[in-house]
Amino acid sequence: MIRVGIAGASGYTGAELIRILWSHPEVKITALTSEKQAGLPISETFPSLKGIVDLQCESLAHCDLAGKCDLIFSALPHREGMEVVGGLVKAGKKVIDLSADFRLADYKTYEKWYGVEHTQKDLLPKAVYGMPEIKREQIRNAQLVANPGCFPTGAMLGLAPVLKSGWVETSGIIIDSKTGVSGAGRNAGLPFLYPECNEGVKAYNIAIHRHTPEMEQELTGVAGKEVSVTFSPHLIPANRGILSTIYCQMAENKSLDQIWELYHREYAEEAFVRILNKGNLSNTKFVLGSNYCDIGLAKDERNNRLVITTAIDNLAKGASGLAAQNMNIMFGFPEVTGFNGPGLFP
Amino acid sequence: MIRVGIAGASGYTGAELIRILWSHPEVKITALTSEKQAGLPISETFPSLKGIVDLQCESLAHCDLAGKCDLIFSALPHREGMEVVGGLVKAGKKVIDLSADFRLADYKTYEKWYGVEHTQKDLLPKAVYGMPEIKREQIRNAQLVANPGCFPTGAMLGLAPVLKSGWVETSGIIIDSKTGVSGAGRNAGLPFLYPECNEGVKAYNIAIHRHTPEMEQELTGVAGKEVSVTFSPHLIPANRGILSTIYCQMAENKSLDQIWELYHREYAEEAFVRILNKGNLSNTKFVLGSNYCDIGLAKDERNNRLVITTAIDNLAKGASGLAAQNMNIMFGFPEVTGFNGPGLFP
Amino acid sequence: MIRVGIAGASGYTGAELIRILWSHPEVKITALTSEKQAGLPISETFPSLKGIVDLQCESLAHCDLAGKCDLIFSALPHREGMEVVGGLVKAGKKVIDLSADFRLADYKTYEKWYGVEHTQKDLLPKAVYGMPEIKREQIRNAQLVANPGCFPTGAMLGLAPVLKSGWVETSGIIIDSKTGVSGAGRNAGLPFLYPECNEGVKAYNIAIHRHTPEMEQELTGVAGKEVSVTFSPHLIPANRGILSTIYCQMAENKSLDQIWELYHREYAEEAFVRILNKGNLSNTKFVLGSNYCDIGLAKDERNNRLVITTAIDNLAKGASGLAAQNMNIMFGFPEVTGFNGPGLFP
Amino acid sequence: MIRVGIAGASGYTGAELIRILWSHPEVKITALTSEKQAGLPISETFPSLKGIVDLQCESLAHCDLAGKCDLIFSALPHREGMEVVGGLVKAGKKVIDLSADFRLADYKTYEKWYGVEHTQKDLLPKAVYGMPEIKREQIRNAQLVANPGCFPTGAMLGLAPVLKSGWVETSGIIIDSKTGVSGAGRNAGLPFLYPECNEGVKAYNIAIHRHTPEMEQELTGVAGKEVSVTFSPHLIPANRGILSTIYCQMAENKSLDQIWELYHREYAEEAFVRILNKGNLSNTKFVLGSNYCDIGLAKDERNNRLVITTAIDNLAKGASGLAAQNMNIMFGFPEVTGFNGPGLFP
């Protein structure tokens, strides 16, 4: 059994981490921090946990995370957790950071897109971008894992095979993503009130969303040459789920059958990636509450264009499930340990 | 490991049974029947199961359920599965029937409320109404369990303690229930189309719903005297969840504190019943995907009335979760085996 | 044309008032106040109004409502608008107050339930409770109309005929209401975030909700004797709509047919009350965006109980539509003026 | 007053037509046909209309549409209404056909994409594609208007200005659309059940949707040269609304400011097209129940790409509202007649 702590446990990714880790046979949750809920059992914040996980939250300042835990998940907002993560890493702890702080290798890119100073630049070379399907071996030996953003996860899983194979153009890729509202976090804000979201679909931050550089950095790594993307997020009236529809121009003359086989080959050993049958496209409904990424493929022959669809649960494979998968790799547990198979349907 | 089959696997309760049983360490699913999907893997019907449970569906006529299974769940519609269940019981198999066919001890009541003939009257005395919190010992030795209806489950858990204690009047109880749409089953019908349900709340079948006699039969058993209820179901734009608000007149002069302590006492040993803290009322959100029933209590002192709220997931504690719990009891497994703790939030 | 102003225009009732008044041939909106949006066109707050109503919001302190308007709707929160309303009334203006400040005739009841001091007690005798179907004649001559709460509107329309006729008991009435989330107002609060509400149904404030004394006061007036109610509100994942299910004991031996005829008679001249056909119950879906109240009737013969269902749009008939109807009465316009018939379906 | 009939009135576009036409001062609805509801008042089908429009439905065979009406809207499914429309046109009546039957000038394209024979080829040259913002003058004199598809409406309004000006490439345009479920019509089908749609977002028919040739035909007309598009529809858990996100490569070096001015110029006289302020993108929420199309503009400078977002209500501007607008043009009424300004918010 490893002892695990969560810093910033009172948000949605915290709740999802607790839910997933509760089922994990090798994990004991030993510390939860929350400034607002300090002194209260986490089940006051999340009544779904009542009688199951009633551990008391502590404020960060009063919680000896390093002493109580072998691994710490930081679910603190970007920038806010930077020094906390830095301190834990320096104390020799393993850390999985769910924020953006350690995802971008170049701190200047981080500072430009996030508009804040990076105070732990020395740790950036240590940080491994936690995408198991792409960087499993590095994760295995990492002390600090930067857990990917929710949008990049689905986008990268969809694009990796064709970029690696060189079958599509690396420039001008379009990623049109539709996300449920939990992606905005558990923060009271007018735009995320129920009546403001329900019965509405909106585009936002087109071409300026902060997940863009992260996608380009990692996809460039996969492709072996510069990749550029236009990324367009949309807010959808659903709690969970991200559907990404990805458009790329074919660089080589390959049939849909060949592409479909490539994806099957590429992900043959992956426990959490499913290639849909020909003719089927992705639906977030079938991955809710699970760690799966469902990939569908279509080809617009008239425009020589590949269209890839991917569906994930933004809180699971897009955040906390992925983090637990990374933990399994870091500690040598079988990668599926603690996951309960199918998601919730309907 | 026991071998388990599901007759009528392609509905929502079938999907939920598979999801729950998949996690169960003592169960192997060996047969699934579906007339519409015969010959196809169940994951074609429920893509959430793809790569996890790809077992092929068979038609009932061609499936040797008795030969393949130690226990059969029948998720067939009422009346349709009557002879199937009868045959399996006569073949010595254990059966949990999720339909209404064996819930009412008096076949005349069944025939009156359901408008069809009961062809297996001889089995009625064998059938045990599968409410563990009330009839655990009988379930332990039952060969045929009649799994309670979704509405009765929440209503009875809410009422049992005060009826048993005689603290409330047994006549004129009101049960006002709000259910998600999955309760209507997986049948294409105009009233259950998305645009017909979304942004609407409606009352239906007030005082004539078929779950009424079932509630009265079992509550009469609990109270030791005739109980009558007015039952009012409502359809809510949600996939899952039943919230029941129950009104009863106080028969004895008890404070809310005393009532609250009674509930705590009564359910102290129950794994799946949670009594909410004073001041809190039930919310289906906190039980979704779980087997819990959350009970809240309020007292209208001005009208000397107790108001009990209960929240369940209609597909879990209200159907398939409860069925799995009954299975655990019938086979001597610890009652929580196979359940994964907290539900999905948000 | 009358000149109309709205104080507190940037909430949901403000938005709905503007939408309704825009279609009114006798109304010109001449002033809108909002503290947060002062200096900005209202269409910045509500982009649905862009190009249609781009009037600039003013802060209350800088807006000469009395000078600019013949009638002022106050959509300010209770207590906050008390002096504003008082000042306008004293300046001789007609005012329709959508808050609770002038609904309760007895200031002590107000102070007890709302926990704040009433500073305009002298105006209470002038205020008319604005329920046209009950107090049309008083409204006609009123200078100050206290617009009813959203829950009381549907409850009172459902109960008035049988209370007036003395056919039901006046004590122990139960009103179980289900409301969409817009009823909570346009205020950023964690409990009203999309992911906290969606896929959840919850009970709250049972027997302690502030609309209770208002219901009892007005229903007592209708019945001619003391009426007591147990009121239970529930939050539903929908933007708009209140469904109330009302339970009362029969005091006289009347058939459902007789009751149905009573309702038809009682509301024969009412433009905005519809009695559903026998066998039909209310559905909020069919009143969304309209000023109708749809009433359904059922009788539980076994328990000698009448169950009344009413559906309204909480922002229309439950607030702003009702306010516009009151305006029509106060200014002698035909009562349906400005209303556009059917609501939005689906 | 003109006399108007609706063939196929019991679907969603029928309901929306009735709602809109009810407010129209120059229109009297004189005939409604429905096979399923023949003999029943339309308000039995749509209780929202109760007491407002209680006209009885007739079966097509028994309804003298030509005799009773000056204008007929055909809301019959494609192919089914072909001869009906043909007959009415030959009888000298004005017809607005909401199906796809007369949208494609080349019957071979129709037969290829729709897989049925076109039996009224001789009428195709008479039919005018009913997009007022593009073909107002032809509509004015048309006897037969082919009302555009819901997806093409939003897509074409978004693309017309830049295609007309030649500022973007005409090949390889991507239209990624997100539609509410009412777009699937009022037909009981498993995939459109509430629990199958709610909490899910899915892609479907990518690059093979039947609205593709319609878009290309009309956009080619606008651009003056061949336009090709990749069209990707998605199903969203909402009743109404289509958001289209449109990607095109810049052909000329124009700034976002210049593009924004172009759109303002181009649509300066249009009553139902709104160009959002710079920095704002489209949200279906702000057009629900209205006839507006809201256009947002973004430029991905890094990829030299223009991203256009458009929001419409699929049943209003995407179907019945547009049809009423076409009627206004055909009969010389001011184009906004009968429309009630802002949509419903929230």
- Of chain D residues 255-314, which have a CB less than 8 A from chain A? 281-286, 288, 296, 298-303, 305, 307, 309, 311
Instruction: Inspect the interface and report whether the beta carbons of D342 and C294 lie closer than 8 Å.
Output: no
The phi and psi torsions of B72 (rounded to 5 degrees) equal: -120, 130
Per-residue pLDDT at B216: 98
Question: How far away is chain A from the Cα of B337, in angstroms, using its nearest Cα?
Answer: 12
Q: What is the pTM of this model?
A: 0.98
**Is A186 an 8 Å CB contact of chain C?**
yes
Instruction: Inspect the interface and report whether the beta carbons of D206 and A285 lie closer than 8 Å.
Output: no
- List for chain D the helix, strand, coil content (%; round to 5): 35, 20, 40
**Is C192 an 8 Å CB contact of chain A?**
yes
Q: Which residues fall within 8 angstroms of residue A59, CB to CB, at 6 or more apart?
A: A33, A34, A35, A38
Nearest CA in chain C to D273: C51
DSSP state at residue B250: B
DSSP state at residue B129: E
Q: Which residues fall within 8 angstroms of residue D60, CB to CB, at 6 or more apart?
A: D7, D33, D35, D84
Q: What does the radius of gyration of chain C's CA atoms come to, in whole angstroms?
A: 20
Per-residue pLDDT at B134: 97
Q: Using 50 as the pLDDT threshold, list the residues of chain A that sit under it.
A: none
**Residue closest to C269 by CA, chosen among C215, C336, C176, C211:** C336
**Residue closest to A2 by CA, chosen among A38, A31, A34:** A31
Question: Which of B182, B199, B344 has the highest number of chain A CBs within 10 A, making it the mutation to test binding with A?
Answer: B344
pLDDT band at B94 (very low <50, low <70, confident <90, very high): very high
Per-residue pLDDT at A213: 97
Burial profile D186-198: b = 16 or more Cβ within 10 angstroms, e = fewer:
beeeeebbbbbbb
C-alpha distances (whole Å) from A187 to each of A60, A98, A181, A320 are 19, 17, 11, 18
Domains of chain C with CATH codes: 2-148+317-330 (3.40.50.720), 151-314 (3.30.360.10)
Question: How far away is chain A from the Cα of D59, in angstroms, using its nearest Cα?
Answer: 34
**Strand boundaries in chain A, DSSP class E:** 2-7, 27-33, 57-58, 71-74, 94-97, 128-129, 144-146, 173-179, 202-203, 229-235, 242-249, 273-275, 293-300, 305-312
Mean pLDDT, chain B, whole residue set: 97
Per-residue pLDDT at C324: 98
**8 Å CB contact between C282 and C309:** yes
Nearest by CB to residue B48, choosing from A198, A276, A286, is A286
Instruction: Inspect the interface and report whether the beta carbons of B22 and A287 lie closer than 8 Å.
Output: no
Per-residue pLDDT at D345: 97
**8 Å CB contact between B169 and B163:** no
Question: What does the pLDDT average to over C91-96?
Answer: 98
**Residue closest to D333 by CA, chosen among D20, D110, D45, D101:** D20
Q: Which residues fall within 8 angstroms of residue B195, CB to CB, at 6 or more apart?
A: C346, D12, D180, D181, D182, D186, D239, D240
CA angle A222, A226, A230 (to 5 degrees): 95
Q: Which residues of chain A lie closer than 8 angstroms to D286, CB-CB?
A: 200
Instruction: Inspect the interface and report whether the beta carbons of C194 and A12 lie closer than 8 Å.
Output: no
Distance of CA C271 to the CA centre of its chain: 16
Chain A / chain D CB contacts < 8 angstroms:
174
Nearest CA in chain D to A232: D245
**Preceding omega of D77 cis (within 30 degrees of 0):** no
Instruction: Inspect the interface and report whether the beta carbons of A193 and C188 lie closer than 8 Å.
Output: yes
Secondary structure (DSSP) of D57-106: EE-GGG--HHHH-SEEEE-SPTTTTHHHHHHHHHTT-EEEE-SSTTT-SS
Instruction: Inspect the interface and report whether the beta carbons of C345 and D285 lie closer than 8 Å.
Output: no
Nearest CA in chain B to A282: B47
How would you write the pLDDT of chain D (346 residues) with one tens digit per residue? Answer: 999 999 999 999 999 999 999 999 999 999 999 999 999 999 999 999 999 999 999 999 999 999 999 999 999 999 999 999 999 999 999 999 999 999 999 999 999 999 999 999 999 999 999 999 999 999 999 999 999 999 999 999 999 999 999 999 999 999 999 999 999 999 999 999 999 999 999 999 999 999 999 999 999 999 999 999 999 999 999 999 999 999 999 999 999 999 999 999 999 999 999 999 999 999 999 999 999 999 999 999 999 999 999 999 999 999 999 999 999 999 999 999 999 999 999 9
Q: Which residues of chain A lie closer than 8 angstroms to D154, CB-CB?
A: none
Instruction: Inspect the interface and report whether the beta carbons of C346 and B239 lie closer than 8 Å.
Output: no
DSSP state at residue B319: I
Torsion of CA C243, C248, C253, C256, to 10 degrees: 10
Catalytic residue among D63, D69, D150, D197: D150
**Residue closest to D214 by CA, chosen among D154, D167, D272, D162:** D154
Question: How far away is chain D from the Cα of B63, in angstroms, using its nearest Cα?
Answer: 26
Q: Which residues are bridge partners to B184 per DSSP?
A: none
d(C-alpha C209, C-alpha C232), whole Å: 8
Instruction: Inspect the interface and report whether the beta carbons of C307 and B230 lie closer than 8 Å.
Output: yes
Instruction: Inspect the interface and report whether the beta carbons of B342 and A285 lie closer than 8 Å.
Output: no
- Of chain C residues 90-129, which have a CB less than 8 A from chain D? none
**Is B182 an 8 Å CB contact of chain D?**
yes
Nearest CA in chain B to C280: B204
At B49-87, the pLDDT tens digits run 999 999 999 999 999 999 999 999 999 999 999 999 999
Query: Using N-to-C axis directions, what is the helix angle for D321-330 and D12-22, rounded to 10°?
Result: 50
Instruction: Inspect the interface and report whether the beta carbons of D186 and B199 lie closer than 8 Å.
Output: no
pLDDT band at B328 (very low <50, low <70, confident <90, very high): very high
Q: What percent of chain B has pLDDT over 70?
A: 100
Nearest by CB to residue A22, choosing from B19, B287, B341, is B341
Q: Which residues of chain C lie closer than 8 angstroms to A237, CB-CB?
A: 194, 198
Supply the residues of B annotated as catalytic: 150
Instruction: Inspect the interface and report whether the beta carbons of B228 and C171 lie closer than 8 Å.
Output: no
Q: Which residues are bridge partners to B305 per DSSP?
A: B249, B300
The phi and psi torsions of D22 (rounded to 5 degrees) equal: -55, -35
Query: Using N-to-C axis directions, what is the helix angle for B256-266 and B150-164, rounded to 10°?
Result: 110
Nearest by CB to residue A201, choosing from D198, D228, D236, is D236
Per-residue pLDDT at B41: 98
For the sheet with C2-7, list strands across it.
Answer: C27-33, C2-7, C71-74, C94-97, C144-146, C128-129
Ranges of H-type helices in A46-81 = 65-68
Question: Which of D202, D204, D244, D280 has the highest number of chain A CBs within 10 A, making it the mutation to test binding with A?
Answer: D202
